[in-house]
Structure 1
Amino acid sequence: MPEPQTDRTGAAVHITLDETRTIGAYTVSTDDGTPAGRADFVDPPEADGERIFFHTEVAPEFNGRGLAGLLVDEALADSIRKNITVVPVCPLFARRLREHGDAYTADGGRFRRPRPADLATVELATKGRA
């Protein structure tokens, strides 16, 4: 299990990567294993080395602890480590890259604006998922 991180309350949380499904996710859980949130993505089959982040969610009982920011930061850092181009459809990812994109690219990260085909890829991947 990866090293724990600390949320705004000082509590330990764990962020893990789940790539076992069509829709992958970075998930955050409390130190006791309680799921707290996720940042969902799809890897488009036609664009090797790209990852479309389209939804980030934290359970209401964990609001205010900074978990969404931890998820976004870990996903972006992991994208740098894996040389993946980020496509930010999720508003949280888009805002983070709008505000800190220069620093992200200076650290070796790559991202590009979403295109209509990216939205179609997300729609296809999430079809039937309610």
Structure 2
Amino acid sequence: MDKDEHLRHELDEFKKEKERIRNIVGEIGGRNNKQHKIVNFIFLILIGILLMLGVVLQKITLFLTLEIVVLLGIFKIIWMFYESQRASHFQFWILNSLEFKLNEIERRVKRIEKTLKEEKE
């Protein structure tokens, strides 16, 4: 039973760590956060206002309205690419750090194995 409890404890710790990492990546840009929702809402409001002014109220020409709406859409796509790049860079940084740590652990294990072999002889 003691071994099972130890394994369950390790599993719980792993789940907590996994959730913590997921939250950190989410804050950087891995999923929708408050900033993304605000920016999406602003773009949606601007496009809605432009379409209302151009199509419904006919205050500006339809062609100009469509051009501005397309330009706002392009800005939104550029912003999405930037956020995606930022998240990818952070994830790469995490993976690179993990690889560095694994390589260091591997060197230590080899050194320990070498020391144990020398002691046996």
Give your verdict on TM over 0.5. Answer: no
Normalising by the smaller structure, the TM-score range is under 0.3
Specify which structure has the higher proportion of helix: 2
Using structure 2 for the length normalisation, give the TM-score: 0.22
Q: Which has the higher contact order (CA 8 A, sep 6+)?
A: 2
Using structure 1 for the length normalisation, give the TM-score: 0.21
- If you compute each CA radius of gyration, which structure gives the higher value, 1 or 2? 2
